[in-house]
């Protein structure tokens, strides 16, 4: 989700911009409608935008490997605000991280948006809705959202790297190897993000249930 400059060929990097910008445009239209109909939600959107920025910037050291991993935050934003708004928040977070923290790049911004903002938001929201329809409690469903959105983000990142670096090897083989290399660090982190997402959603449901009305309260 933080692919740096130069790791993806220019043509592929440009290609990832197309779906990223399409989703961002749709998300901006949805956000504008939200602000027109529910102007009181501006503060909540800003708060969750800050949450996504901070949590996806947070480095989690990986013992013994000399690297770090990152949670995403977009599944939680998707549950509370809907996936289209979460996509916009994730895209803004990734842009600021690329500009000021050297996390990701400008040429690779479209690819990173597709992985974390789009993939994480849609997968997390879908996991939540499916879990609720299967009868899961709100906490368990939110936990599944955080877990799934995190792993899907890195599965997409692995695919992007495989498409760029596979050379003469089959893309599927390189993708499997790249994704497998993420799993030792990302599975524990995905579990942690699932627990965090569940905790936040349960807390909001108990303290300010009106913030979740129409989004998460219906099984």
Domain assignments of the chain as residue spans, ordered by start: 10-212
Point out the least confidently predicted range of 19-33, 55-69, 100-114, 141-155.
55-69
Average pLDDT over the chain reads 90
Percent of the chain at pLDDT > 90 equals 71
CATH architecture of 10-212: Orthogonal Bundle (1.10)
pLDDT digits (tens, 9 = 90+) for 127-140: 999 999 999 999 99
24, 129, 138, 151 from 215: Cα distances, Å? 20, 9, 11, 23
- Residue 219 has a pLDDT of 39
Burial class (CB in 10 A: 0-12, 13-18, 19+), 198: buried
Phi, psi of 217 (to 5 degrees): -80, -20
214 — pLDDT class (breaks 50, 70, 90): low
pLDDT reading at 195 higher than 50? yes
Residue with tokens 């997409």: 156
């Amino acid at each position: 989700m933080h692919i740096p400059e130069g790791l993806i060929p220019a043509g592929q990097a440009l290609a990832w911009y197309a779906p990223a910008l399409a989703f961002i445009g749709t998300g901006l239209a949805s956000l504008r409608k939200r602000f027109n109909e529910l102007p009181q939600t501006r503060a909540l959107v800003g708060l969750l935008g800050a949450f996504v920025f901070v949590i996806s910037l947070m480095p989690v050291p990986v013992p013994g490997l000399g690297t770090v991993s990152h949670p995403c935050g977009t599944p939680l934003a998707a549950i509370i605000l809907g996936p289209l708004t979460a996509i916009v928040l994730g895209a803004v977070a990734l842009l600021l991280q690329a500009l000021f923290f050297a996390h990701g790049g400008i040429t690779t911004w479209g690819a990173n948006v597709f992985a974390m903002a789009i993939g994480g938001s849609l997968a997390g929201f879908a996991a939540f809705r499916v879990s609720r329809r299967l009868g899961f409690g709100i906490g368990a469903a939110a936990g599944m959202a955080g877990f799934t959105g995190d792993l899907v983000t890195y599965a997409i990142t692995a695919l992007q790297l495989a498409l760029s670096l596979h050379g003469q090897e089959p893309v599927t083989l390189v993708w499997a190897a790249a994704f497998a290399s993420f799993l030792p660090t990302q599975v524990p982190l995905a579990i942690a993000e699932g627990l965090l997402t569940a905790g936040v959603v349960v807390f909001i449901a108990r303290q300010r249930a009106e913030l979740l009305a129409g989004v998460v309260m219906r099984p």
